[in-house]
Amino acid sequence: MSWFQRGRPGIEEGEKRSVGEGVFHRCAACGETHLASVLSRELQVCPTCGRHERLSSERWLELLPDPGSFTPFDEHLGPEDPLRFSDGKPYPDRLRAAQRKAGAVEAFTAGTAAIEGAPVVLGVFLFGFLGGSMGSVVGEKITRVFERALSTRTPAVVLSASGGARMQEGIFSLMQMAKTVAARERLRDAGVPFVSVLLDPTTGGVAASYALLGDVNIAEPQALIGFAGPRVIEQTLRQKLPEGFQRSEFLLAHGMIDRIVPRKDLRPTLAKVLRLLVPR
């Protein structure tokens, strides 16, 4: 006869969770543990060391635009599989898994909005969708942000967070670098402002194309910004890189960006920049 009996069904395999999962968050930088609710209130910025965790595109669209002002466009555009690519798993399967996980059709969302009353055409990357990689649809949507800004003579604001080009689309992905730069240059020629916000990380083909071509380039603290990653560069050059290489503080010191802005200050900073670029 058993001394103990279950009072309720046990936890099935695969349903087990760590104690505190979803309740606590341990900072990868300083190691301090905080309540997830506290971290959410602080906009995913560690209260101890100031590390900026990644925000979803939904949170950015809650944080930056005036309430109710964001109107999305081009939501119907979705990725395809032009190369019939498979890396052990067919690309369409990876896309469906990413779409389910991220709750989005692609790694970029765009729309019209206002920031403290200033009208903008706003684009935001979703890093959680295949690392924010830029395929043909993402490149098309970024291009349309610039084209809409040009046609309405409204400033463009793009928040970039990307691992670079999407390898599953090969040359179709790499072509987006030239395509987005060409659209951005038409915007420059017309004198319509473009404010580029560089989040962690902004790398690869995104960094090497439009992302560092803003009239004003703003970065979050400690954001990784560059083409190839530091480890790849060290292995290629066989040299030790300087401390903080490719972080936003390093880029600011070397004239590659204009300002580093903590997340809580980004909305008023963007509003001020927009007022300066487009006097009323």
Pull the structure tokens for residue 11.
Answer: 């936890």
Residues with Cβ within 8 Å of residue 24, at least 6 apart in sequence: 33, 34, 35, 36
Q: How many domains does one find in the chain?
A: 2
| Domain-terminating residue out of 6, 35, 53 | 53
| Domain-terminating residue out of 38, 53, 68 | 53
Decide if 86 is inside a domain: yes
| Domain-terminating residue out of 37, 53, 69 | 53
| Alpha carbon distance 54, 174 (integer Å) | 25
Decide if 202 is inside a domain: yes
Decide if 179 is inside a domain: yes
What is the chain's pLDDT, residue by residue, as a tens digit (280 residues)?
455 555 555 544 444 444 455 789 999 889 899 999 989 998 889 999 999 998 999 999 999 999 999 999 999 999 999 999 999 999 999 999 999 999 999 999 999 999 999 999 999 999 999 999 999 999 999 999 999 999 999 999 999 999 999 999 999 999 999 999 999 999 999 999 999 999 999 999 999 999 999 999 999 999 999 998 888 888 888 888 888 899 999 999 999 999 999 999 999 999 999 999 987 6
Task: Please check whether residues 93 and 35 belong to one and the same domain.
Answer: no
Task: Please check whether residues 123 and 172 belong to one and the same domain.
Answer: yes
Q: What is the pLDDT of residues 223-268, one digit of tens each?
A: 999 998 888 888 888 888 888 899 999 999 999 999 999 999 999 9
Q: What are phi and psi of 129, to 5 degrees?
A: -100, 100
Question: Is there a contact between 177 and 164 (Cβ–Cβ < 8 Å)?
Answer: no
Q: Which neighbouring-strand residues pair with 38?
A: none
Question: Is there a contact between 69 and 55 (Cβ–Cβ < 8 Å)?
Answer: no
- What CATH number is associated with residue 64? 3.90.226.10
- What is the residue range of 48's domain? 20-53
Task: Please check whether residues 101 and 34 belong to one and the same domain.
Answer: no
Output the pLDDT for position 15. 46
CB atoms within 10 A of CB 260: 18
How are beta strands 71-73 and 33-35 bridged, if at all? unpaired
Output the pLDDT for position 231. 85
Decide if 6 is inside a domain: no
| Alpha carbon distance 167, 169 (integer Å) | 5
Helices (H), 31-153: 36-41, 57-63, 91-102, 136-152
Q: What is the CA radius of gyration of the chain?
A: 21
Decide if 258 is inside a domain: yes
Task: Please check whether residues 24 and 63 belong to one and the same domain.
Answer: no
| Alpha carbon distance 167, 109 (integer Å) | 20
Task: Please check whether residues 160 and 239 belong to one and the same domain.
Answer: yes
Q: For 41-57, give one letter per residue: b (16+ CB within 10 A) or e.
A: eebbbbeeeebbbbbbb
> What is the model's pTM?
0.89
- What sign for the dihedral angle of Cα 233, 238, 244, 249? negative
